[in-house]
Amino acid sequence: MLFNSLAYLIFLPLTWVVFWAIPARRRLEWMLIASYVFYASWSIPYAAMIFGLVVVNYVFGLILGRATDRRRAFLTLFIALDLAVLGIFKYFDFFVGSFAGAANAALGAQLDPPMLDWVLPLGISFFTFEFIHYLVDIYRGDVPVHSFTKFHVFTAFFPTQIAGPIKRFQQFVPSLASIGHFDIGLAKEGLWLIGRGLIKKVLLGDRIAPWVNEGVRAATDGAIGTTDAWMTMLAFALQVYFDFSGYTDIARGSAALFGFRIPINFNMPYLATSLADFWRRWHISLSTWLRDYVYFALGGSRRTTPIVMRNLFLTMVIAGLWHGAAWHYAVFGAIWGVGLAVQHALQKRFSLPSSPVLAVGGWLFTMLFYLVSLAFFRCPDLDAASVMVRAMFGQGAGEGTQTLRASLFVMGTAAALLLTWIAARQGWWPALRMPTWRLRPVALGIAASIAIVVASAAAPQGNEAFFYFQF
């Protein structure tokens, strides 16, 4: 069930009405039922598997909380089990195939190992990361969640189960205590977020997607012009932002309707003035997770510069591979790892004063770096990515296949997005509030009907899946 589908348009209000109509003590159970209906609408067997993982990790948490010795061994075992499930579904075929390919190429072998070809369970990467966060934090001293229902809602919560944001149980579980109270302010914010998310996804992201596909297809075919390559990557930068931040808005908005606050995932990422700044603004719940559970586990920044550089590199390679089991994702992560490591080394060696000129220069470099790296993120393999990158650096072939309309739309949208963010950061943007009860009913009715007409016209013809659902 996609957030931008008719099914969700029916599912969400129904769930909401029942949620607030039943006694408060039953609302968590209802939220669980709704969450499993949501997941099972895609796959019942995988919903059962997710239930099994929740039960197992709940027990793991209790064991870790009570254990007084061999805690590290328990933690390692539990995390290994969680990663094994993720690894089998997501990485088994990739690593076995890569190993066989390498062996065949290097040794002239004829290895053709059997592949699992299993469908990747939706949201498995996000579930796994929340489980690991929970177990590690209990190991570090947090108290485990003793209520199975509360732990269950934390992990299976339908607004965030498919593509995050990756929640922290220390923030989420205490908010369950206020489940008996309806917060009109939060509900209004939720509606606003859902509307904004749909606009980002349907009106902007989905509209740009065909132009990206056209450019990527050209690169996959082996030839794309230089201008087209840049335009394609710029279009993809917009598409992936609108798609994923739109999804996050709808997830946060849906959660808010039920009284839950979900962390933000984006903070004007394309205004970042350095590579490190970018990851503080982009997919924040993932980057902070990687910082807390990978980068810090490797030693973080309290080591010598070469070790810190190694830590940054490894963290980003893992980040790349988290997105998908393919070498182009690993290269994407490695590029960022090298970039962040070099930036760290330079910052250690040179102390630059902050100035507007340096900020603009840093922004320009960060955006160019990002656009080039996106070739490895979006293209289906390394060959296509290398065609795209070579084209971006002047080795393009073929005339433009991106229409003037597409180019104008992409550049105009990029400019509008940046201006909107700059205005918001400078405080020029007036705070938008939903004036519902202050408007006269007739005016509100007219406004609502206009909104319905616009929403109807803007609705997607089919249901375009969110880009991050594949991860």
Partner 1 sequence: MDTSVGPWPIFRTHARAIFVTVATCVVVLATVEIAFFRSGFFASHVAVSDPQWPAAKLAIAARQPDTRVLYVGDSTMMTSVIPTIASIACECGPAFNGGFSAADPWLTDAMTRRLLGIMQPTLVVISVSPWTVDSGAHFDDSESARHLMSVAELEARGISLDLEQRIDRGIGALWSAYGQRQLLKEWASALTPDQRYDERLLGYYVAPGSANSYARLLAQTERLFEDVGDASPSAPGAMVIRALVDDLRARGIAVAFLVPPLHSAALEHAGPYLDRADAAIRELAGEREVPVIDCRATVTAADFRDVTHLVEPGAERHSRCVGERIRTIVGD
Residues recognised as catalytic: 323
Nearer to partner 1, 158 or 336 (CB): 158
Cα distances (Å, whole numbers) of residue 151 to 46, 65, 109, 158, 327: 19, 14, 49, 13, 35
d(CA 193, CA 199): 10
Omega before residue 460 within 30° of 0, cis = no
**Per-residue DSSP letters for 202-266?**
IIIIHHHHHHHHHHHHHHHHT---HHHHHHHHHHHHHHHHHHHHHHHHHHHHHHHHTT-------
Phi-psi domain of 466 (left: phi exceeds 0; alpha: psi -120 through 50; beta: other): beta
Query: Nearer Cβ to partner 1, position 81 or 191?
Result: 191
CB atoms within 10 A of CB 61: 24
Q: Is there a contact between 302 and 330 (Cβ–Cβ < 8 Å)?
A: no
State which residue, 108 or 185, has the beta carbon closest to partner 1: 185
Nearer to partner 1, 104 or 381 (CB): 381
CB of 149 to partner 1, least distance (A): 20
Residue 221 or 358: the one with the smaller Cβ distance to partner 1 is 221
- The DSSP call for residue 140 is T
Nearest distance, CB of residue 453 and partner 1, angstroms: 5
Q: Is there a contact between 182 and 20 (Cβ–Cβ < 8 Å)?
A: yes
Distance CA 174, CA 25 (A): 15
Task: Name the one residue in this structure whose structure tokens are 């080591």.
Answer: 303
Q: Are 188 and 434 in contact (CB under 8 A)?
A: yes
Residues binding partner 1 (CB under 8 A): 5-7, 10, 20-21, 24, 180-185, 187, 218, 220-223, 397-405, 408, 437, 441-442, 444-446, 448-450, 452-453, 456-459, 461-462
Rounded CA separation 228/234 (Å): 10
Closer residue to partner 1, CB minimum distance, 9 or 338: 9
Q: Extract the tokens encoding 274.
A: 């350095």
CA distance 324 to 73: 29
